[in-house]
Structure 1
Amino acid sequence: MLHHLLGRDITRKSKQLEGGSGRDSLNDLGPGSCNYGGIKYLFSDWPGIVMIFNGDSLHKFPSTRPRRLRLNRFLRNSVAETSLSTSNLIMPIFVTDSSSPQPINAMPGQFRWPLNEDLLKFVDELKSAGIHNVILFGVTGKKDPLASEATSKNGVVPRAIRLLKQSFGKELVIFADLCMCDYTDHGHCGVVKGSGEDYYIDNDTTLKIYGEIAVNYAEAGADVIAPSGMMDGQVKAIRDALDGDGYENVLIMSYSAKYASVFYGPFREAADSAPRFGDRRSYQMDPRNSFEALKEVAMDVGEGADIVMVKPAMPYLDVVRMVKDSFPQVPLAAYQVSGEYSMIKAAAGAGWIDEGRAVMESLTSIRRAGADLILTYFALDAARMLRNWDSLF
């Protein structure tokens, strides 16, 4: 436990005690050290941690009473370590070629939006509530092996971008999710080679298509391209394509640590993007790995990512914290995915939890873990509740 709490840097400076008692205690072993589980930790470079864990620290009862700072909400608000604002939130929006909004059964309260006044009214409502960041996902019945709809100037996402930019201009920051799964007839995130059990995703051929999609979205007016396919080298391919066509100022928010998660289920219904065969475990990350996320993030930053992301958020808050600690200078996003949304909705609908408080607690936990930006389907609800932020805790 202490290994995880203190982080890998401190672990590197620790050494195993020879003949230690093995007791789980924080016994002082001399200046700047302590014992936990038979391991000696040296704290010479971490005076704050010495204060917390040293038996001679100032933090002792009764001179220290943490409850004093919790006596009323005004005190609690004054010393709160974590904040949340509408600037931290990004609203995911599904856009489609329908004539009216289509409710998403697996995600109560969410819709697939047509490219008409209904979409504009919804986005205007977001903007009025203080939400100026949206990320677009295309939903279409036009599917083929190479995701041609995604590279078409008349595709649903480029048309949605143009419509929104014409209506809201610079007051709306448009993130465009970039992947092929919404547009392929097989539902995978890249070009499929082989067949049956021998199929595989051709990484480098896929990168060429990613570059074409990125330029298509940038030309339509997207502010940020958000590649989610987890192909090796995707950020470099997209950065090169954008720069080569004169879009040096279009940002890239990479889904750097995207795990192969069961929590994507409702989204796949919403976007009709489930694989028709196989799964995505050969390209999305193994849920058992955390340090691998640091490698993925380091590669993306080195290739030119402006923002990196961990997805999903709640089951991977440890990864969010690791990434922020390792790359404090890089803006970090976390995605509260469809499964997280639908679980809160289902539990609240059954009367088991208070929906509003669950929403704000979950979003606050993601911020506390280190996320600068949160993609959440609760963005509009959260914006409304933030008007009474000081009374929520």
Structure 2
Amino acid sequence: MIRRRRLRVNETIRALVRETSIQISDLIYPMFVVEGENQKNPVESMPGIYQYSIDRLGEELERVNIRGIKSILIFGIPEHKDEVGSQAYNENGIVQKAIRFIKKKYPDFVVVADICLCEYTSHGHCGLIKDGVILNDETLPLLADAAVSCAKAGADIIAPSDMMDGHIHAIRTALDEHGFLHTPIMAYSAKYSSGYYSPFRDAAHSAPAFGDRKTYQMDYANVKEAIREVKDDIEEGADIVMVKPALAYLDVIKSVALETDYPIAAYNVSGEYAMVKAAALNGWIDEKKIVMENLIAMKRAGAKIIITYHALDVAGWISNN
């Protein structure tokens, strides 16, 4: 008789033969930075997550450092928004200031700069608008300017999340022309138009003022389209590709992993985080078990990098174990 249970008899043996694991180095922790002073604003729909002004950002960075996390993703909430999202590419914008602060305080941190206009436009869309239509080509130079301004501030990785066609080529060209040949691009390649983003839009104040983003973000019914998007981004110069969201898109992560050997990032998004937190706070689930099972599923599907709001907790659990 074949007895496969011999390799399951205790935790030490199970660990010896375990196929998939989570390391602290796999994690990127997203953070929200807001204008003003002495600001630590709770995001009500994301328990445990806050918006920080730069003068208080050090508190969270210290926790990140203690937990051993070395990679963070920065989102900015500007004081003023306009039709063209000018604060996204202002060299003294909130994200640019935050990047300089972080790199001065923790120079060994890898700072990932999200590049998009939605947090900075008065209409909340990811590109310029004319007569209710998102202008793809006209938006590309602004995204390129935003990327260059963040690279100048010290960003280690540029992460365009806007889903404009041709944006990776435009950004790669601009970075190279400004001497940032060695700055990688982590492309939000397969970013779906998803209901899982609502808590993030609370945190980043980025909900669209009209309509939705279905004309530029992907239809969640499609997988083959995701492969085309990934291949396009790689051809245009992406160094890392992303699938967003993660949990409902494990099949997409797997499909992408079968098509490319480029590193894949999975974004464990705000709605996924909020659902787990709500259930845990109500005592319905064991938070640690569920979170680790979810993240292992992402790794098992083929992700190398996991962007998650659970990162601080996960790093603590890994260290304690």
Identity %: 50
- CA distance in 2 between counterparts of 1:264 and 1:135 reads 16
Q: 1:141 aligns with which of 65, 79, 97?
A: 79
Cα deviation, residue 75, structure 1? 1.0
Q: 2:88 aligns with which of 120, 142, 150?
A: 150
- CA distance in 2 between counterparts of 1:120 and 1:372 reads 28
Structure 2 segments unaligned to the other structure (5+ residues): none
- CA distance in 1 between counterparts of 2:286 and 2:78 reads 35
Secondary structure of the residue aligned to 1:251 is coil
Higher relative contact order (CA 8 A, sep 6+): 2
1:164 aligns with 2:102: yes
2:36 paired residue number: 98
1:31 paired residue number: none
1:347 aligns with 2:279: yes
The alignment's TM-score, normalised by the length of structure 1, stands at 0.80
1:182 paired residue number: 119
Q: 1:384 aligns with which of 312, 316, 319?
A: 316
Q: 2:10 aligns with which of 65, 72, 76?
A: 72
1:251 aligns with 2:188: no
1:81 aligns with 2:19: yes
Secondary structure of the residue aligned to 1:92 is strand
Cα deviation, residue 129, structure 1? 1.1
Secondary structure of the residue aligned to 1:137 is strand
Structure 1 segments unaligned to the other structure (5+ residues): 1-61
Tell me the matched-pair count.
320
1:304 aligns with 2:237: yes
Report 1:220-299 matches (<5 A). 220-299=153-232
- CA distance in 1 between counterparts of 2:3 and 2:273 reads 37
Q: 2:249 aligns with which of 303, 316, 324?
A: 316
Cα deviation, residue 245, structure 1? 0.8
Residues 186-228 of structure 1 show CA distances to partners (whole Å, capped at 9, x for unaligned) of 000000111xxxx211100011110110111011010111000
2:50 paired residue number: 111
CA RMSD, 1 decimal:
0.8
1:338 paired residue number: 270
The alignment's TM-score, normalised by the length of structure 2, stands at 0.98
- CA distance in 2 between counterparts of 1:74 and 1:176 reads 40
Report 1:52-67 matches (<5 A). 62=1, 64-67=2-5
Q: Which amino acid in the other structure matches residue 29 of structure 2?
A: M
List 4+ stretches of structure 1 deviating above 3 A.
none
